Structure 1
Amino acid sequence: MSQTFQFSLSSTAFNSSSLNLKKLKKVKILCSSKHSSFKDDDVNEGGEGLSRVILVERYSNGTAKRYIIGDDSRLRTILIEEDRSTQNRFGVLHSPDKRLSWLPDTVKAFILPAGFPGSVSDDYLQYMLLQFPTNVTGWICHTIVTSSLLKAVGVGSFSGTTAAASAAAIRWVSKDGIGAVGRLFIGGRFGNLFDDDPKQWRMYADFIGSAGSIFDLTTPLYPGYFLPLASLGNLTKAIARGLKDPSSRVIQSHFAISANLGEIAAKEEVWEVVAQLVGLGLGILILDTPGLVKSYTVLSSTWLIVRLLHLWLRYESLSVLQFNTINLKRARTLVKSHVLHSTVPGCMDCNKEENILVWSQFMKPIIIFGSPLDKMDGMERSHFMVEALLKLYANEKYILVVNQQLDDLKFYVSFKVGATSVSVLRSIWQTFWLSENWESKGNVCDQLANSLMELENRFDDFIQKLKDAEWDTQQLNLKVPKEISIDDINTS
């Protein structure tokens, strides 16, 4: 099936010392494409004949997809293996740490920070290797002490049924162990989320912790299922703790404007301990109230009321935080204001407008970052379209295309090698301009070209207004997806 696209693009010239687009003449590009099948051995990897590579899409697992135009003018792709050097957040290449060369890559990704070893200090690995056996010995001691505590409260005795106390201790510690799996999963799989939106994850931690408490609350109804219910409760609450602890550290770092993070953490501990003592005292008073302990319905209703009050207070406390860093949610608010009104809100107004509960992925307009090119409409069929987009985005470290849906627009962004947080911010600005000025019957590439011109004309003003409003433009919490990156090797 043949398809024909007519693009009217503005040619651009690139100067490495300047990010400004220089308007030249209008160029008409007539794109016709055919959907065709091919095999890897059809591609001339040696570069002979008319075959040429126009683009390489690199993946974090060490493979790369080459987009090749064959001598029959058809677009083909071939998947190859590449050298697996690691790259830190600043784009500097590092060789893998030889001390951990025996570990599978999936395990390394689970236990080490992204970009290791370049993303951490030199003493990180040695410290963690010593911390591990330190924590192991600590938990061995915890297990032994737990057995002694159970004996002290009447589960067995030193002279009597010691086996019963040991069995009870094993069950109790097993409950804690199952719960620890939740923290293991959160830390290994989602450790890169907390810097971006600590308010959201701190709130989610309380929601999940509340669900865990429900399992504990139902144990009196089903005493025969104490271990599975208590284990599920511990697992859920451990997941909540896995979300809570790193989010709280990010919030503490926000408070520590005088490089006094240790003192901030210590003083917060004081507040928490005092609150713990007051809460325990009030809890004991409630349990001593006649009728509460005997009636499960009254007890659970009391818990529900207090828990709902707790969640509301948590939301209010997080709402007062005023971060001057720019994450995806705040970037959307700031960009929208600048696109529509050429102004940006201050830190206080923007943080108040920020929705703590909603995920940025579900906010409008829908932006899908780190999308492979072959997932974009028409990319796998037309080398003319690929080359046209490479020329159009020659000055940018990303490629943005629009997929017009029946009810809404979706924007797909693929990032090139060397893209930074500023690249992400620029793509967001272009997305909002397109969203506000989109003409469904207009020429797609004309609108992309116009949005890029608007971006170049107004982005510097946007950055200046951010600085005037005291936003931190040096440290943007806008991460470039590392799973896929484009190596634009032929834009001429």
Structure 2
Amino acid sequence: MFHTLFPFHILYRAKTYCYEMAVLFDEQYGSTTLNQRYVCTATGAVKIIENKKETFQSIGHAFRSVFLPQGYPESVSEDYLLYQIYDTIQAFASSITGTLATQAMLKGVGVGDESATALAATMTWILKDGTGMLGRILFAWLQGSSLDCDAKRWRLFADMLNDFAICLEISAPFFPLSFTFIVCTAGVCKSIVGVAGGSTRAALTLHQARRNNMADVSAKDGSQETLVNLAALICSLLMVPIVAEQHLLVWALFTIFTGVHLWANYSAVTSVVMETVNQARLHILVQDFFRRDTVSLLSVKETNMREPVIFKTNWRFNIFMGSQLRLLSDRLDDLAQLQHLYSVEKYILGLNTVSRKIHIVLRRDSTEIDQLMAAFQAEVINVLTQMQQNGVVGVGSIDHRLGFTAVNENAINEILCSSFHTAMAKNDAYEVSRTSLELTKNLFPIFFSKLQNSGWTTSHVLLGADEWRASWGSAMQ
């Protein structure tokens, strides 16, 4: 029975094959040079032959294993290495300036001063920490939802605020009467830095982790930062005795390292290439969509390079997603008109030409694609208004300097654009909303297709929608 189940001639053939072909398997660790071969010997045994690496190759592999995510570079985004280089530079510079601030703080609370008391120093430190805790809670309440949407801008803001806080701490000993107030202000700033910096770091880590390995990427980032802080600590041990009483030298070092810190942070955030659509990147894409006659939209990389990371985008109409119905109008007739206009849509867009605000009410069953469509309509209003004010498009007519052929070659879209500019000139908010909606219905499918073909992620968006939802039309049934 056993002989019928196990064909021994297969084993014989495998053994014969082993004699003829020495190499059985070739094994490699990821994309590294670490590899090994399995070969058979004359006796039929299997032997493992490892790649003989040079010493520097072995050190490099050990460094990658300790400080880089497993599977690097395939397991992370393409911008990972460049970002981490700049992040390492800024972390070193920040550690140095932080040491200078610590020295100044200790001096300010009375270390080395015989007349100072431990109680006074303790009270100052408690007040500093207490105000910082309150600042952390308040900032997270006010800005927590916007940190995901503008991760790069808030990341840079956090580091700039951190430099300001360090400047306050170094300055505090020179103002003994206001010392407690200054250090408390610095504590609030640093607490905001902790919230904004930590939250945006998590958002960037999520972007960089391409194998659902966010924990590994975050852990290795922590290892890199620890190594940098250790190097900065050694430098600080050598530096502090030299600059202890040299105030001019302290300020000179602070200025130099702060400059390096800001440059490295700006370079780091601008090197990040995010594929998700936020309001700033959408504004750039819609501008390009209308102004250029091209088959595809701007690439993901080029759009990210144009994204503002210091100041907010200058919209003609500020956009508020997920607003309450009462913000559209306080008149029943206006709300009834808008409800009829958007009866088949899953959002209602209302604008105020006086306050320059666009409020978007989302229906309860709206999806992220509906949010993207609503934001697209809001950007159509902004872009066409901006072109009109810049003289690119004349009121009541379409100038062929407008590069988008779907407008120039489509008579309906030309008429709609002309009606839009006439309504904007008359401050007719309802007509602006109507014509922009018709343009959106005609152009959004084209835009969405180009968005997908250009490599953008459309499964989720970061448009900062609030949580208000309403029901009307078919959603009421």
TM-score (norm 1): 0.59
Task: Measure, in 2, the Cα distance between the counterparts of 1:261 and 1:369.
Answer: 29
1:327 corresponds in structure 2 to 278
Task: Measure, in 1, the Cα distance between the counterparts of 2:135 and 2:381.
Answer: 42
1:468 corresponds in structure 2 to 453
1:256 corresponds in structure 2 to 209
CA deviations 1:99-139 (Å, max 9, x no partner) are xxxxxxxxxxxxxxxxxxxxxxxxxxxxxxxxxxxxxxxxx
CA deviations 1:388-436 (Å, max 9, x no partner) are 221111121222234334xx95433233333333223212222333341
Q: Which has the higher helix share?
A: 2
Within 5 Å, give how 1:275-424 maps onto structure 2.
275-289=228-242, 292-341=243-292, 343-360=296-313, 362-376=314-328, 379-381=329-331, 383=333, 385-405=334-354, 410-424=357-371
Q: Are residues 434 and 481 of structure 1, via their aligned partners in 2, closer, same or farther at CA, if it must alter by over 3 Å?
A: same
- Which of the two has higher C-alpha Rg? 2
**1:171, distance to aligned residue in structure 2 (A):** 4.6
Contact conserved, 1:367 with 1:411, CA < 8 A, in 2? yes
Contact conserved, 2:352 with 2:429, CA < 8 A, in 1? no
Q: Are residues 218 and 193 of structure 1, via their aligned partners in 2, closer, same or farther at CA, if it must alter by over 3 Å?
A: same
Task: Measure, in 2, the Cα distance between the counterparts of 1:155 and 1:369.
Answer: 52
Unmatched tracts of structure 1, length 5 or more: 1-149, 157-163
Q: Are residues 230 and 426 of structure 1, via their aligned partners in 2, closer, same or farther at CA, if it must alter by over 3 Å?
A: same
Question: Counterpart of 2:470 in structure 1: which amino acid?
Answer: I
Provide the secondary structure at the position in 2 that maps to 1:481. Answer: coil
Q: Which has the higher strand share?
A: 1
Task: Measure, in 2, the Cα distance between the counterparts of 1:196 and 1:434.
Answer: 21
Within 5 Å, give how 1:204-223 maps onto structure 2.
204-223=157-176
Within 5 Å, give how 1:28-427 maps onto structure 2.
168-169=121-122, 171-223=124-176, 225-289=178-242, 292-341=243-292, 343-360=296-313, 362-376=314-328, 379-381=329-331, 383=333, 385-405=334-354, 410-427=357-374
Q: Are residues 399 and 298 of structure 1, via their aligned partners in 2, closer, same or farther at CA, if it must alter by over 3 Å?
A: same
Contact conserved, 1:203 with 1:357, CA < 8 A, in 2? yes
Task: Measure, in 2, the Cα distance between the counterparts of 1:205 and 1:428.
Answer: 27
RMSD value, Cα: 3.2
Task: Measure, in 2, the Cα distance between the counterparts of 1:337 and 1:214.
Answer: 41
Question: Counterpart of 1:366 in structure 2: which amino acid?
Answer: N
Contact conserved, 1:419 with 1:480, CA < 8 A, in 2? no
Within 5 Å, give how 1:412-451 maps onto structure 2.
412-435=359-382, 436=384, 437=417, 438-439=421-422, 440-441=424-425, 445-451=430-436
Q: Does 2:443 match 1:458?
A: yes
Q: Aligned residues, how many? A: 326
Task: Measure, in 2, the Cα distance between the counterparts of 1:258 and 1:273.
Answer: 24
CA deviations 1:298-357 (Å, max 9, x no partner) are 322321232122112101111000111111111111222223336421110110010012
Question: Counterpart of 2:364 in structure 1: which amino acid?
Answer: V
**1:451, distance to aligned residue in structure 2 (A):** 2.7
Contact conserved, 1:208 with 1:237, CA < 8 A, in 2? yes
Provide the secondary structure at the position in 2 that maps to 1:318. Answer: helix
Unmatched tracts of structure 2, length 5 or more: 1-105, 385-416
Provide the secondary structure at the position in 1 that maps to 2:361. Answer: strand
Task: Measure, in 1, the Cα distance between the counterparts of 2:181 and 2:153.
Answer: 30
Task: Measure, in 1, the Cα distance between the counterparts of 2:181 and 2:381.
Answer: 52
Q: Are residues 452 and 175 of structure 1, via their aligned partners in 2, closer, same or farther at CA, if it must alter by over 3 Å?
A: closer
1:480 corresponds in structure 2 to 465
Q: Are residues 255 and 454 of structure 1, via their aligned partners in 2, closer, same or farther at CA, if it must alter by over 3 Å?
A: same
Question: Counterpart of 1:307 in structure 2: which amino acid?
Answer: T
Task: Measure, in 2, the Cα distance between the counterparts of 1:230 and 1:308.
Answer: 22
**1:358, distance to aligned residue in structure 2 (A):** 2.0
Question: Counterpart of 2:441 in structure 1: which amino acid?
Answer: E
TM-score (norm 2): 0.61
Q: Are residues 169 and 446 of structure 1, via their aligned partners in 2, closer, same or farther at CA, if it must alter by over 3 Å?
A: closer
Q: Are residues 489 and 433 of structure 1, via their aligned partners in 2, closer, same or farther at CA, if it must alter by over 3 Å?
A: closer
Provide the secondary structure at the position in 2 that maps to 1:462. Answer: helix
**1:243, distance to aligned residue in structure 2 (A):** 0.9
CA deviations 1:18-63 (Å, max 9, x no partner) are xxxxxxxxxxxxxxxxxxxxxxxxxxxxxxxxxxxxxxxxxxxxxx
CA deviations 1:182-219 (Å, max 9, x no partner) are 22333344322222121111111112212211221123
Q: % of aligned pairs identical?
A: 23
Contact conserved, 2:278 with 2:463, CA < 8 A, in 1? yes
**1:247, distance to aligned residue in structure 2 (A):** 0.8
Task: Measure, in 2, the Cα distance between the counterparts of 1:165 and 1:305.
Answer: 34
Provide the secondary structure at the position in 2 that maps to 1:401. Answer: strand
